[in-house]
Amino acid sequence: MSHHREDIQRTLVLCKPDAVARGLVGQIVARFEARGLQLAGLKLLAMEPARAERLYEPHVGKSFYPPLLQYMTSGPIVAMVWQGAHAIEVVRTMMGATNPTQAAPGTIRGDFAQRVDRNVVHGSDSPESAAREIPIFFEDSELPVYQAHHAAWL
Choose the catalytic residue: 86, 122, 149, 150: 122
How far is it, in rounded angstroms, from Cα 90 to Cα 143? Answer: 20
How far is it, in rounded angstroms, from Cα 131 to Cα 12? Answer: 9
Residue 86 designated active-site? no
How far is it, in rounded angstroms, from Cα 79 to Cα 128? Answer: 18
Q: What is the dihedral of CA 52, 142, 94, 57, to 10 degrees?
A: 20
Decide if 105 contacts 94 (C-beta within 8 A): no
Decide if 152 contacts 2 (C-beta within 8 A): yes
- Extended strands (E) in the chain: 8-15, 38-46, 76-85, 121-123
Q: Positive or negative, the Cα torsion across 67, 50, 9, 20?
A: negative
The catalytic residues are: 122
